[in-house]
Structure 1
């Protein structure tokens, strides 16, 4: 599925069975709710390194556009991981980047995953 398609879909929290029932008829669950429930397994969150504000990039390299900055104390959900530019951070040196949202990547060296390797599926 293309990134554009993912970004255009509503988040699971934006659509509830009750809201869908009001739109489609009482007791009717939408197909989108079913798909989102199956496609959105419980994902763990991981803290970013203490004392750091973390740049979120549009691609897995430091010269890509900065999308936003995560404040100190943030936690991230890693949807998948991908190789990218090698970065040195508080948790060592690595070329693993964590995809935390559509078009949003952070260096794994700033995320406390408890591992020097992959902890999530590879991004496709």
Structure 2
């Protein structure tokens, strides 16, 4: 493969990564809530950290897990907000009772 082809392939991959990153939306955590961030999609997973009140989170993908009741209803949807970090969707204002992002693979 020529140097030009390698550079072109790299540029295409870089553009795809930027497009994927640009499509990630941020959502508000329920007002007055300090939200637990867990290592997996459920309440039995370890708490990694706690989000401060007024936090906004990206949702990279969503997956089913433990059912949780929060300010926005009861849901078994968990939002992946970073690599190995999940929050209960019932505490995130997505404007939907269902999935707003792709399912995690």
TM-score of the pair, normalised by structure 2: 0.83
Task: For residue 30 of structure 1, report the CA deviation from its aligned partner.
Answer: 9.5
Deviations 1:31-75 (A, max 9, x none): 374453244232111000000000000000111111111000000
Counterpart in 2 of 1:48?
29
Counterpart in 2 of 1:106?
87
Structure with the bigger RCO (C-alpha within 8 Å, sep 6+) is 2
Counterpart in 1 of 2:54?
73
Q: Which moved more, 1:112-121 or 1:35-44?
A: 35-44
> What 5-or-longer segments of structure 1 have no aligned partner?
1-27
| 3-state secondary structure, aligned to 1:71 | coil
TM-score of the pair, normalised by structure 1: 0.71
Number of matched residues? 97
4+ residue segments displaced more than 6 Å: none
Alpha-carbon separation, structure 2, partners of 1:29 and 1:37 = 15
| 3-state secondary structure, aligned to 1:36 | helix
CA RMSD of aligned residues (A): 1.8
